[in-house]
Amino acid sequence: MNQSVVKALKLLDFFLDGQTELTLSEITEKSGMPKPTVFRFLSSLEACGMLMKSRNTGHDVRYRLGLKLLQLGNVVAEQLEIRTVAKPWMQALCEELNEDVHLVILDGDEAVYIEKIESNQKVRLHTRVGKRSSVYIGSGPKLLLAFLPAEQQNGLISRIKLEDNADSLIQSEEALYKHIEQIKAQGYSISLGEQERETIGISYPIRDHSKNVIAALSVSGPVSRIDGHVQDEIQVKTREAALNISKALGCME
């Protein structure tokens, strides 16, 4: 663990007792560290947007929390809200289709399964809450990649090592771009045997109040149970549930 990073971030805790602004001297006194060290840490936090200078009191600089913390807090709150809002719809969808239902979001360069409602089928997928996945493997992760803003999408794809998964049907950037363009155009994603062999996954986007795609709602099961007719029903019901969750999150599309 990088102790310098830990010490710098702990300085933010001094703002949790209701004081909206603190001087360099006050933070130094609270921390018990040398003033030059505290100043260096505060300067780093300011450069990252986690702190901002308020005004000078004589020669003593005052600091307050920066907007970056607000942005990060909003992301955390949004993720928690997604689970709370989505879960009843996921449970209803699982009961109606009797297949596993997942909620997937992006976290950095990976997709994360943040909620799962299990069916009572004997043969089920082995996914779990907290599972991480490459963004080009599975219907949910690929859907999230497809709906990213172009700059963010390009940056993420440039960092992907496609050769890491020999089972994937996508072995080149060109093929990946073509595939996610198709996903975005049709508005949903289907995968066959990507997360687990002989399984199918069907995903639809969940949008926030700004109509940005913030999560994927996925239904998955073995291909032996999900034939053409059943697949059609799953697509209709999953799309409907995703739209209802989006509306509950403020999307008026």
Strand stretches in 69-209, DSSP E: 100-107, 110-117, 132-134, 189-192, 199-207
Instruction: Tell me, yes or no, whether 60 and 74 share the same domain.
Output: no
Instruction: Tell me, yes or no, whether 232 and 192 share the same domain.
Output: yes
Q: Is 253 within the bounds of a domain?
A: no
Q: What is the amino acid identity at position 39? A: F
Of 9-18, 70-79, 159-168, the least confident: 159-168
Instruction: Tell me, yes or no, whether 61 and 144 share the same domain.
Output: no
Instruction: Tell me, yes or no, whether 230 and 210 share the same domain.
Output: yes
Residues 145, 158: contact at Cβ < 8 Å? no
Segment 178-206, tens digit of pLDDT: 999 999 999 999 998 887 788 899 999 99
Whether the pLDDT of residue 174 is over 60: the answer is yes
- Looking at 45, 65, 85, the residue that finishes a domain is 65
Segment 97-156, tens digit of pLDDT: 999 999 999 998 999 999 999 988 776 666 788 888 889 999 999 999 999 999 999 999
Instruction: Tell me, yes or no, whether 123 and 210 share the same domain.
Output: yes
CA 40 to mean position of chain CA atoms: 32
Instruction: Tell me, yes or no, whether 27 and 123 share the same domain.
Output: no
Range of the domain at 188: 70-248
Q: Hey, which residues does 199 pair with through a beta bridge? A: 222
Segment 211-231, tens digit of pLDDT: 999 999 999 998 888 888 889
Q: In what order do the strands lie in the sheet with 189-192?
A: 132-134, 110-117, 100-107, 213-222, 199-207, 189-192
Whether the pLDDT of residue 239 is over 90: the answer is yes
CATH number for position 142? 3.30.450.40
Mean pLDDT score across all residues of the chain: 88
Gap between the Cα atoms of 240 and 92, Å rounded: 12
Instruction: Tell me, yes or no, whether 9 and 120 share the same domain.
Output: no
18: tokens are 């209701």
pLDDT of amino acid 212: 93
Q: Is 79 within the bounds of a domain?
A: yes
Gap between the Cα atoms of 187 and 203, Å rounded: 9
Mean pLDDT of 14-36: 88
Whether the pLDDT of residue 39 is over 80: the answer is yes
pLDDT of amino acid 166: 47
Q: Is 239 within the bounds of a domain?
A: yes
- Looking at 65, 81, 116, the residue that finishes a domain is 65
Instruction: Tell me, yes or no, whether 57 and 132 share the same domain.
Output: no
CATH number for position 14? 1.10.10.10
Whether the pLDDT of residue 253 is over 80: the answer is no
Instruction: Tell me, yes or no, whether 110 and 215 share the same domain.
Output: yes
Query: pLDDT class for 56, splitting at 50, 70, 90?
Result: low
- Looking at 20, 44, 65, the residue that finishes a domain is 65
